Amino acid sequence: MKRTNTFAVRPLSEAGEHVLRDLLDASAALWNEVNYERLMRYNDEDGLEDESVWDADTGSLEGQYKPVLGASTAQQVISKNSEAWTAFFESKNAYYDESNDSVTEHPNPPGFRGNKDDGRVLKGLIRKDAYSVEWGTRSRLEIVVGEDLRDRHNSPKSRLRLEIVGEPNWPDYEDQGRLEVWYDETDGTFRASQPVTIPDDTRATPLADDTAALDVGANNLVACTTTTGDQYLYDGSSPFDQFRETTERIADLQSKLDDQQQSSTQVDRLSKVKYGRRDHAQDALVRDLVERLYEEGVSTVYVGDLKDVLSTHWMPEVNAKTHNFWAFRRFIDRLECVCEEYGIEVVEESESWTTQECPECGEREETARNGDVFRCVCGFEGHADLKASQLFLERETGTDVGLMAQPVCLEWDDHKWSETPDSPERESPKEERTDRSTRRTVGNIASVESA
């Protein structure tokens, strides 16, 4: 399985910090120069084909920066830029492909990492064989630097040594990938990201063979129903209110900038905080949900196709949530990643009509939603998102789901997702797993014995 260790690093001396900053600044400068050469060819007034970007003389740029970065690091920066341009062309082709609706807005070419006068984004890449990590009581990272930097610090073997802060999520791995190192201006910390391959035998085995379906929305971030009859509802109001408030603060600061000024240090910092908070809430939600589903014995999770989720809504506030706040593709990727740890399969299917359809009579046209309340002319009334996840589950499994209790409602407190006071009392995972060792009937569904 592919995973990533992300950790903070500290130089061992003031000289070491200067070396690290110079290394990352040179990486950003090389990226900018390579990107400029390719962008000029892409925007050539003679209308050359897109492939002309690959004619840029990256070899001379590599030679220019090799004394500072080292040959391997210079190559990685150029390679990363090539990957960014390749991804741009793929997105551009998808945008102009009428049969492909995965890209709805015209993509932009890769951007620059700041400039020398206003400050560059301190960010660099280290080839997998040009760094080493040692975990233990005094964990450390050693990276190769170029000749011009080797005599400016006291690390052995011509490598820059950095102290690692904290413990890794995945200390036991079979292989490591390209290391990414950057300076986080939000809290003034150097950070590193290490892709690793961990053994497949670390993957858990589902406790049973139950199924869950997710309705991913705007007001409630996730509504989930399982074939065990349990339901979970993650309220999105708190994280969205934070996101909106920070967006308004950014807009206010931007309105006070000079006409020639695009951004400021404070605006950039707030933008990082805004998206950092969103990602933290999203990652914590996925982890919390998957752990609950694992304890329920879920082995398959159905989630709605993104095209259904991202359809334009007539309410501006809902559009702001779906298009600006909730990063759906990132959510799906994170869900698949965490589910893989627990041996749970994620299946994307269309959830069309589950929001409009009545579970009692099947009516789709004469139904209405007011906030979280769904109503039908037949008299049915229920929670719109939980009802949608239940219909989605029943459609994919071909069975009727008998609900066992009130849904578990969860709210975000900036640190974790916690059950609200009116949520039903729940057994501990150990008690729940023991109870599930014998078969029990839930509506028309018989749950399977735990492994």
For tokens 């950095």, what's the residue? 162
Contacting residues for 61 by C-beta, under 8 A, at least 6 apart: 30, 33, 34, 37, 74, 78
> What local confidence, expressed as pLDDT, does residue 195 receive?
94
| Distance between CA atoms of residues 166 and 180, nearest Å | 17
- C-alpha 214/C-alpha 309 separation (Å) is 12
> What is the model's pLDDT at position 425?
53
Interatomic CA distance for residues 133 and 150, integer angstroms: 19
User: Residue 162 has what pLDDT?
Assistant: 94
227 and 211 in contact (C-beta within 8 Å)? Answer: yes
Alpha helices in 43-172 (DSSP H): 58-69, 71-96, 147-150
Task: Give the model's pLDDT for residue 192.
Answer: 95
Sequence spans of domains, the chain: 2-202, 210-420
Residues of the chain with pLDDT under 50: 45, 47-48, 309-316, 427-451
pLDDT at 170: 85
Q: How far apart are CA 127 and CA 75, in angstroms?
A: 8
- What pLDDT does residue 351 have? 82
Say if pTM beats, i.e. exceeds, 0.85.
Answer: no
Strands (E), 89-144: 114-115, 119-120, 123-126, 131-134, 140-144
Cα–Cα distance between 219 and 217 in angstroms, integer? 6
Q: First-to-last CA distance in the chain?
A: 22
Burial (CB count <10 Å: 0-12, 13-18, 19+), residue 247: middle
| Residue 286 CA from chain centroid, whole number | 10
Cα–Cα distance measured from residue 80 to residue 73, given in angstroms and rounded to the nearest whole number: 11
With H, G, I as helix, E, B as strand and everything else as coil, classify residue 165.
Answer: strand
Task: Give the count of beta carbons closer than 10 Å to the beta carbon of residue 38.
Answer: 23
Residue 250 to residue 253: CA distance in whole angstroms: 5
Q: Which residues pair with 419 in a beta bridge?
A: 410
Owner of token pair 């961990």: 198
pLDDT at 66: 94
Residues 6 or more apart in contact with residue 288 via CB below 8 angstroms: 410, 416, 417
Tokens representing 91 are 């997105």
Do residues 155 and 54 lie in contact, with contact meaning Cβ atoms separated by under 8 Å?
no
Q: How many Cα atoms are found within 13 Å in the side-chain-facing hemisphere of 24?
A: 22
Smallest CA-to-CA distance from 262 within 118, 107, 123 is with 118
- What is the token pair recorded at 178? 């390209």
- 427 sits in the region (left: phi over 0; alpha: psi -120 to 50; else beta) called beta
Residue 267 has a pLDDT of: 84
CA of residue 442 relative to chain centroid, distance: 35
pLDDT (0 to 100) of residue 263 = 75
| Structural tokens at position 297 | 């014995």
Query: What residues contact residue 181 under an 8 Å CB cut-off, 6+ apart?
Result: 9, 20, 24, 123, 124, 125, 126, 143, 190, 191, 192, 193
pLDDT value at residue 353: 83
